[in-house]
A and B are shown apart, each in its own frame.
Chain A
Amino acid sequence: MLKSLKLGALAALMAGAAFANPYEEYAGTTLIVNFPAHPHYNAAMKVLPEFTKETGIEVEVDQLPYLKMRERQTLELAQDEGEYDLIAYVVFSKADYVFADQLENLAKYFMNPKLADPNYDAEDLIDGYVENIGVAGGTKGYLPGKTGSLFGIPFGSETSVLAYRKDIFEKHGIAEPETYDQLLDAACKIPEVEPGMGGMASRAASGHQASHAFLLHLAPLGGRVFDDQWNPIINNAAGVAAAEALKTIVDCGPEGAMSFGPAEAANAFSNGDAAMFMDSIAFMPGFENPDRSKVVGKVGYAMHPKGVRRGSQTGGFGIAIPKNAENKEAAFLLMQWLTSKKGDLMVAMEGGNPSRFSTYQDAGLNEKFPFASTFGEALKYADPDWRPIIPVWGKINADIGTTLSKVLTEDLDIQEALDGVADRTKAVMEDAGYYTWQ
């Protein structure tokens, strides 16, 4: 594999020598990029020297904890001249940055024959990711559509899959959950037949975590937060079903599940305290790491089960060029290189999350990471609209999360609790001007 990579790089170099080198004009430039401290970006940083070798463009990385990034970027992007040439952003920052007109529209770069690589093959990029992370201005403002355009490219994106204990499931004759009914049955059957073990480990802590867990079930069970007119419909039958599913999972889950964040939930699973774990693919490589996991080799990976439809989460990061960047064109070249077929595969081989279908089909990658093919299949159902990306989302998200936490811990009536969320959400949306045209 490595050999073929080297050959590829060599071929690119030779091609560069034979034709005009598109990178020549920018050689010697130093790009300053802002990346999160995240396994995917750690992998990306391992391939950056290759980029410099090939293009002569230097890259300096400013790495921050991902929850700190937005604060830093908000300050940086609001200045006349920013420090960063390329930023990685968390998906829910898209709405804020695009709305504040702080990101470059990528059309002019892809139109520029001197910059755009004709072999880039944008069709190969995973649809749900591009729609969720890259495009803004279409349907509802945050989804793709006829009025939308591209502001970023997914890089380090994630979807949800189900990890389960093959050994436990086989021992008790439980089938791999295909549907939500099977999932919930299995979740509550396991603590009965396997004392001391919880069914499924899930995030549930108050705030963002509880909201995330709820939304994870909402999309496959047929629900949405808003209808097409921005009316909150979180309290309809599907919403109640999703909240009930979350409550069942937490009640049948490992001890202390009510205060789990994603790391605790993943720990509970890798420690053998729970038989299932459904969350972002970013956690899965950790289960196969013998230093940190007691369940190496015992884990099966399945697609996010189907409710009335399939719909796994979309999240993670994208990369974009700030409006106030100094070296925009060189930044575009880096962005294009990292997300090209070659770059994507190189990052994936180092343990990153692929952004392309072709990467998931690569034989070398499947050999190194056995779950890659399941993830590739799951991505076809990645739902870009599982969570709205609008500027007021932070507030609504917190309300959903605290209310559901009360449902889990204080036994609040689910319908009543969700009605309350819908009412408050309506007021927030009214205040933000979403009903101006009604």
Chain B
Amino acid sequence: MRIAMANRMTPYMFMAPAVIIMAIALLYPLGYMVWGSFREWNPSQSIGEAEFVGLKNYIFLWSDPNFHESLGVTLRFAFFVVTIEMVLGVGLALLLDRDIRGMSVLRTMFILPMMIAPVVVGLMWRYMYHPTIGTFNRFLETIGLPKVDWLGDYALTSIIIADIWQWTPFIFILSLAALQSLPRSALEAARIDGATPWQQIIHIKLPLMMPVLIVTGLLRLIDAFKVLEVILVMTNGGPGLSTEILALRISRTATEFRELGVAAAMSNYLLILLLLLTVAMFGFTRWQEARAAKLRMVAQDDDQ
């Protein structure tokens, strides 16, 4: 009896340390944030002193035009950044998936932007975009084109360019790894059947890479929603609110406006949004896999 009981308990006992660490490191702060989002909480108060206001912070945000604008900026930023980075990153990986001399050096150089601290990236680009002494405008001037007010009139485009420069290598490196681990047999079979390189990419490489690409895209998407330092340094959200992404608005709400409750509510909205996106993305892969399985079944039936 005892032994049976102990046997049944064993897996739970092995899991216990992990569960406890998860609870302390993940659930407690998350719970704290959710709890705080229901309060009118100023940083000089402890959470116990803050007044409970129910859903007021959430309702306020729902009708706050600044929050809407910031959400719009975030969605636009994330959409463009992830789409362009995926195309460029995967494209580069397909081009460079071959034996070139000095490939390892090249690869290291490609991932350099990713290794630079975000604040430095922000400063670097800010000076490159500088209206008078910046590299871009000086270049435009020498070839006789009019100067562009990068961080003024085209602020969002400019930060998108900077982000693409920094994060395309991330997608490149993961896609390259995925490409190199593809089963050679499938590619060889395709070659023997006379598939052109283009057909190989569309029908063999991309579908086989899909699971990796989806996870990569998802990681970039989550990151794009949370990017803060580069934009903080480059534009601090300006001009107007045109580059004030949600992470920046959350940080300003907490430190500048001193409204921890509202900042927590905003973080929760962001969390919910990301959760929905993740679930939708995994749902989509599930559906695709199911469809592929069905097609295979049909194909097998036809063969018989």
Q: Which residues of A are at the interface with B, using a C-beta cutoff of 8 A?
A: 70-71, 74-75, 77-78, 96-97, 99-100, 102, 205-208, 210, 254-256, 258-259, 261, 273, 391, 394-395, 397-399, 402-403, 405-406, 408-410
Nearest Cβ distance between residue A267 and chain B, in whole angstroms? Answer: 9
Once the chains are docked, how many angstroms separate the CA of A112 from the CA of B171?
68
Contacts of B252 in A (CB 8 A): 207, 398
Q: Contacts A256-B131, A391-B258 given; indicate if A402 touches B241 (C-beta within 8 A).
A: yes
Which of B149, B235, B236, B240 is close to A410, meaning CB atoms less than 8 Å apart? Answer: B240
Contacts of A391 in B (CB 8 A): 42, 258
Which of A74, A206, A395, A405 is close to B257, meaning CB atoms less than 8 Å apart? Answer: A395
- Whether, in the assembled complex, B237 has its beta carbon less than 8 Å from a beta carbon of chain A, the answer is yes
Contacts of B199 in A (CB 8 A): none
CB <8 Å contact, B239 and A254: no
Per-residue interface assignment for chain B, residues 235 to 277, with 1 indicating a CB less than 8 Å from any chain A CB and 0 otherwise: 1111111101000000010011111000000000000000000
- Whether, in the assembled complex, B121 has its beta carbon less than 8 Å from a beta carbon of chain A, the answer is no
CB <8 Å contact, B44 and A78: yes
- Whether, in the assembled complex, B217 has its beta carbon less than 8 Å from a beta carbon of chain A, the answer is no
Q: Which residues of B are at the interface with A, using a C-beta cutoff of 8 A?
A: 42-46, 66, 130-132, 147, 149, 151-153, 235-242, 244, 252, 255-259
CB <8 Å contact, A402 and B132: no
CB <8 Å contact, A409 and B152: yes
Q: Contacts A206-B241, A256-B149, A394-B256 given; indicate if A78 touches B236 (C-beta within 8 A).
A: no
Nearest 8 A/B pairs, CB to CB: A206-B238, A256-B131, A406-B240, A100-B44, A409-B239, A395-B257, A255-B131, A258-B152
Nearest Cβ distance between residue A99 and chain B, in whole angstroms? Answer: 8
Which of A75, A258, A273, A394 is close to B239, meaning CB atoms less than 8 Å apart? Answer: A258
Q: Contacts A255-B147, A258-B149 given; indicate if A409 touches B44 (C-beta within 8 A).
A: no
Nearest Cβ distance between residue B53 and chain A, in whole angstroms? Answer: 11
Once the chains are docked, how many angstroms separate the CA of A261 from the CA of B130?
13
CB <8 Å contact, B132 and A206: no
Contacts of B238 in A (CB 8 A): 205-207, 210, 259, 402, 405
Which of B130, B149, B152, B257 is close to A398, meaning CB atoms less than 8 Å apart? Answer: B257
Q: Contacts A96-B258, A394-B257 given; indicate if A273 touches B240 (C-beta within 8 A).
A: no
Contacts of A208 in B (CB 8 A): 256
Nearest Cβ distance between residue A270 and chain B, in whole angstroms? Answer: 13
Nearest Cβ distance between residue B149 and chain A, in whole angstroms? Answer: 6
CB <8 Å contact, B239 and A405: yes
Nearest Cβ distance between residue A404 and chain B, in whole angstroms? Answer: 9
Nearest Cβ distance between residue A198 and chain B, in whole angstroms? Answer: 10
Supply 6 further A-B pairs (C-beta < 8 A) apart from A206-B239, A259-B239. Answer: A205-B235, A207-B237, A398-B252, A402-B238, A409-B240, A409-B242
Once the chains are docked, how many angstroms separate the CA of A96 from the CA of B257?
11
